[in-house]
Amino acid sequence: MGKRHEAIGIKQAIRFEWMQKAANLLLAGLDAKTIRQELHEFLADRKGNGSEGERSDQTRTFVVNNLMKIWVSPDPELIPFRDASLAFLRENPSMALAVHWGMISAVYPFWFNVARQTGRLLALQDQVTQTQMWPGRPAVCWPCRTK
């Protein structure tokens, strides 16, 4: 088993359309180097909040690395799952959100567990604080992210 169970993984917002772009480039048969270049160009003027604007090389690289790890170069034990996900995505494009959710959850299990816990708390109450998710951290309201 790779180190994916030890990694927190995601430092920035990853938008659905970015996941679609990465998967579509892979489905088009492009190699990893070309996909990485295409993603850098595609994300050069796209920010995590959906607005347009120039990103720093560092923040863009973080997102590109996440997208590459999710779709293009996952851990070897996830390659069969990735390939099955791509085949399913090709045949069922309306299920794209579920397929991307599955891939990101498989590649970043910590992220999945935090999302699951947040969802459970939000089913019980209207807001979730960061302290509820990570005891000892300053309280921030999720999803509104205010103190």
pLDDT at 142: 47
Domain shared by 137 and 70, yes or no? no
In whole angstroms, how far apart are CA 70 and each of 44, 56, 111, 128, 138?
A: 19, 22, 12, 27, 30
pLDDT at 97: 95
pLDDT at 95: 97
Domain shared by 72 and 60, yes or no? yes
Q: What is the pLDDT of residues 60-82, one digit of tens each?
A: 899 999 999 999 999 999 999 99
Domain that holds residue 92: 3-107
pTM equals: 0.76
pLDDT more than 90, % of the chain: 49
Q: What gap in Å lies between CA 73 and CA 22, rounded to an integer?
A: 11
pLDDT at 147: 47
Q: What is the pLDDT of residues 13-50, one digit of tens each?
A: 889 999 999 999 999 999 999 999 999 999 988 776 66
Least Cα distance to 32 among 82, 69, 75 occurs for: 69
Domain shared by 85 and 121, yes or no? no
The DSSP code sequence of 77-98 is GGHHHHHHHHHHHHH-GGGHHH
Domain shared by 100 and 117, yes or no? no
Averaged pLDDT for residues 113-134 = 79
> Is the pLDDT reported for residue 140 higher than 80?
no
Do 4 and 75 touch, CB atoms closer than 8 A?
yes
Least Cα distance to 99 among 114, 88, 110, 91 occurs for: 88
Domain shared by 60 and 125, yes or no? no
71 DSSP 8-state letter: I
pLDDT at 36: 97
Strands annotated E in 38-127: none
Q: Which residues, including other chains, have CB under 8 Å from residue 58's CB and lie 6 or more apart?
A: none
Total domains in the fold of the chain: 2
Do 44 and 55 touch, CB atoms closer than 8 A?
yes
Q: What gap in Å lies between CA 16 and CA 100, rounded to an integer?
A: 8
